[in-house]
Structure 1
Amino acid sequence: MNKINIFQKITIKSRLLIFSIVLFLLIAGGIIGAFFLAMGQIVRSNADQELTRLLETKRLSLEASIESELVIALKMADSPLIARFFLDPYNPELETIAMEEFAGYRRAFGSGSIFWINDQDKKYYLGDTAEYVLDPTEPESAWYSPTLNMHDEYEFFVDYERSLQKTVLWVNVPVRVQGKPIGIVGTGIEIGDFIDTIYADLAPEVSLYLFNNSLEITGARDSRLIVDKVQLGTHLKSEGPLILDAIGKLRGTEISTLNLGQETIALGRIPLLNWHAVAFMPITRAMYFESSMTLVFAAMLVVVLLIFVIVNFFIVSSLKPLKHTMEVLKQISADWDLTRQLAINSGDEFGELAEFFNITFGKIRELLTVIRNKAGSLSDTGADLASNMIETAAAINEITANIQSMEDRAVSQSSGVTKTTSAMERIMVSIGQLNEHILAQSDSVSQSSSAIEEMLANIRSVAETLVKNSENVNSLAESANVGRNDLQKVSEDIQEIARESEGLLEINSVIDNIASQTNLLSMNAAIEAAHAGESGKGFAVVADEIRKLAESSSEQSKTISTVLKKIKSSIDSITQSTNVVIKRFEVIEKEVRIVSDQEAGIRGAMEEQETGSRQILEAVSKLNELTAKVKQGSEEMTAEGQGVMRQSKDLEGIAAEMANGMEEMAKGAEQINIAVVQVNEISGENKTNIDALNTEVSKFKVG
């Protein structure tokens, strides 16, 4: 109800203004919502296109940088002279001619790097020099057999040369004769500069990663990812599974895009290298305002605002006639001038309202003129009636006063007799109740005496119990003190153990250092044994055993260190718990002293209560004797009161008959008096109302 009243108090102008504001806010909110929804789609579409162009551009740039080197490597693998040399590597004439051809290819490569190995002597050449004889069974040569027997024409392999601190892309091409592999040729391309060029013009907010079929990162802003051969799924974490799933669906140079939350992802293949590329671009709110569509939505908001202003101006203009009507009504309510009229300035609803307003107030003026004339006649008639009723009321009041005086005396007499009888009845009832109370008091005194004797016995029992409790509390306090002292000694012993365990940790650290030094010595010994050749094999076995012993000692040292740390942690925990328990014992000892003091206070109070109870028992015995005497006097009062009651009832009957007769006379006179008074009051009110009506009607101006 309160909400309705508050709303009704708001003016029509304010209501319409509030409605228009709410409508404007809803429309503006809809436009803003549509803006963010549309711009979100536009920004994501632009991001997809931008990342697609980025991957396509970077792919073409990277392939163009490497394709020329690959063509030379493929031509070198197809050379008949090199094939003849690989079939007969021990022919010195062929070797001389082949070396000249290799030198020519080396000069043709932009990197100036070349390598080859034939499957006959398995000598690995880098440049013009045979570096070593390759053993396919060695772990570091595990690449040789898969590369030699692969079905593809070529293979790329990215490796980080720590000695040169460069990332090298190795191009491996098998040399085949009639489909049979007889060796491998290739070149090493330092691609660090290529990759740096790819990332040089890349926007800071865009992330780009290159990776091979093994999912190892081969290109990134952070070179450590390439050096450590980090897996793409490990680095990307949550996005990894989605990206790996999308990669399997790519064909040729196709580029696919994904939208994950506030991020756009583009994926593509680099067929020449058999690599893949993935790019990330975050979607920010700032991108929403970089498009020309922002101006369109801003213009829409401005148009809505202009419409809002125009509508409100029209509303204010339309409500001006209503405001004029309110001002005229306000003036009429102030000076009661019904001759005022509204000006009719339009033919709309407000004009009709003014016309009906003037007609209505014209009829009200006519009605008030008639009321004013009739009110004068009623005023004269009311004055005559009031004068006659005043005289009649005076005579009736005198008669009623005489009858009332006689009635009051009769009633007073009857009332006195009735009160006397009632008083005697109450006295008899009180005497009967007194007898009952005396009997109940006698029984209560006897019961109180027995209860007090029983209470004395209980008090003595409680006092004895308190004495025993006091002894037990003292014993408990001594035990708590002894326990606290013993626990303090245990805490000191535990702390001593903790200090000793720290010494064991230091000793274990020394053992670990010795094991590390031993392991280092064993490695040096193994290296020296390798340099010694066949004569150092026995020493190498001993060095290997020493290394294993050092590693075992190091592992045992770590295990002991872990156990000692756990023991020290447990000892620290026990020490803390012991300190807490000691504090608890101190609190218990303090509380036991408080209980002992309270026991002493209770024992003193019980002794005082025992003394008081004996005094109460003596007083109750005397009260029992007095109760017997009061009971005897009450029985005598009951007998005498019954005689007085009989005489009072006889007198009450006579007084009642007199009172009834006078009461009937008084009722008749009272009814007459009431009727006269009511007529007199009505006459007076009538005159007052007529005067008030004349006064109010005279306020209106009707002509």
Structure 2
Amino acid sequence: MSQAPIFLYAGLTSFRQEFYSTGNRKVSARGSRMRLDIRQKLFILVFLPVLTLLFLQGNFLLGKWKDLRVYRSQRWNIELMGKTALLITELQKERGLSSKFVGSGSGKGTLEDQRKAVDSAYQELAPYVEKATYIKQDKLYYQKQISDLRTQIDRGAFKSPKDVIDGYTPVIRSLLEISNIAVNQKTVGGIGKVMGSVGILQEAQEGAARFRGLMSGIVSSGQTVTDRTLLFGLIRDFEQIEINLQSPALIYVGDMKSVIGNLLSGTDYEQLKDALLEVVARSTLQGAGTTTYRISADQLWNIGTRIVEILNKLVQDTLSILDAQSRRIERTYSVEVWGAVGYSGVLLVVLVLLGYSFARSIRNPILKVTHTFRTIAEGSGDLSEEVVVTDRGELAELARDFNRFTSVLSDLIRGIRQETETLRRVGQELQEGMAKTAVSTKQIASTLEEIRNNIMHQAASVTESSATLENFLLRLNELKGLIETQSAAVTESNSSIYQMLETIKKVQGSLTESNRQIEELVQVADKGKRRLLPLIEQIRTITDQSKMLQEANSLIAGIAARTNLLAMNAAIEAAHAGEHGRGFAVVAEEIRKLAENAADHSKSIAGNLKNIQQVINQVVESSRMVQDSFDAINTGIMRMNDNRKVLEIAMTEQGQASKEVQIALEDITKVTSKVNQFASEIELGSKEINQEMKNLMRITEEVKTAIQEANSALQEISGATLRISTLSDENRKSIESIYSRFAAFKLKGE
């Protein structure tokens, strides 16, 4: 039974060596031809078409993405044109108001408001100017140009409205050039032509704005035009309106055509034309000099402003339509692009999953067979596992042959394992019997050793106890003397504690009187603080009233300033009226003097109120400091009261503790008397115990000698048991080695 498993194990080992040597020769023979394993080949087979699809779809998506960028760029250009058109409109209005201001000297306030509107519009355009790479000027160019023009106008550097128009026009033309450059950028969807129409409308708006500014300045000055260039410029600007609005390149969007038709045939346009004819006729026939035009500068300005606003509205409406159309196209294109991305992603996932599934169905059976052969060759393996292939090809035939081979091998190994199991069980029982014998021997030896140690400890303990008992008797005599001394000390302590209790009662009476005085002090401090609060509130009321007086004085000063300004305006009007306005001039002078007198008194009152306010502030600060002092006094009193309470509690506790100590000392006196009696009794019993300890030491020596003889005999038995256990262990290891080699295989049916 023991030789059959060894023979079969040797046969399997030989088979394993032959399998490995044959496999290595085959691999080395094919190494130069087979450089890719089956997983790499399947990977190439699956992912080559996937990569081709990714390349084609990537090119398609790249083209779509470029188109989408163009859509976004043209929408950004539309927004840039809208911000530019807004700034141009506001700047044109500032140009016209500046022209009127230079021509007539009036309208400064309106001009300042318009400048703020221009600055606001420029702040909206500035971020677009920074980002636009095709704009050569930086963001400070326009701001500096406009600032320089405003400075020259405020200093009176421009002598005529035409100079103002000519100063602003290059800046506006530069802004129009930005719109033209934006129009020439790449566009798609037919939006570029409509953006070109916006440029035409802006040119018409510029002509109308220039005409409005020049004509308003000329009419407000009341002078004829002697400069032929200026006359031709007026005519050119007016014709520019109609030429651009009737341009064949203009593409109509929405109701643009009807609005332009109504504008050219409307009353405002005809009035502008009549005003132009009047200026040309008077300037040509009368020559240089003053004149009075049928239309006022304000009427002309309002008519021109309405036309400019109509053209600006057309520009903004067209840009809004273009922006909405561009956003709609961009959204549609974005949906198409992301739809294509989603479709490509889904298709890619499907192809990868299908390829992975096919490769797995081919590779897994081969890997299972390879893995099982490898584990068998290495001496371990799962022979219960069968390769399952659903198709009917070569892989299925290979799987069936492999399953039959593992079934035969599994039956062979199962028989070997059964025989080995019998040998292992017999060896295990023998080893367990010897182990029990060895354990019993060790337990007996351990018990004897423990008894011997206990006897040794007992002998030492008896000796030590005897010496201790002798020492105890000596100490007991000393204890009796100490107890008598203690009794006398307790009597003296009891008398001292009684005196301390009397002292504590006196301290508690003093603390009660201090408590009453502290409470009276707290009441006095509270009364002082309450009397101070109404005074602080009245001072605050005076402060508020003084602030109201300052506000009233400021109002009087403002009224005096405005009265003085009205007096100056009345004096100017009286000067314009000549002789008829002398009486009005005298009244205006008196009003001005009255206003100056009121202003001087207002300044004096303001100074006095300021001094009063300073005094009130000092009183408020002093009141606050007094209130803080009362708060500090209250805080100190409360802290002192808290400390007194703590001291009172401590004295109460000390009195109680002293009483308890007195009671304890009385108990100690009683106990000391009893202890002295017990000490006498213990001394008598200790002498009897000392005699018995000597008898115990003699018996312990006799037992220790008997244990040493039994321990020598047990050592001989333990040596024989150890030799038998060693032989049994070697036999068990040999059986376990054979069994473990075959137990590594998992057989069918397990």
TM-score in terms of structure 2 length:
0.46
More strand as a share of residues: 1
Q: Taking CA–CA contacts closer than 8 Å with sequence separation of 6 or more, which of the two structures ends up with the larger relative contact order?
A: 2
TM-score in terms of structure 1 length:
0.49
More helix as a share of residues: 2
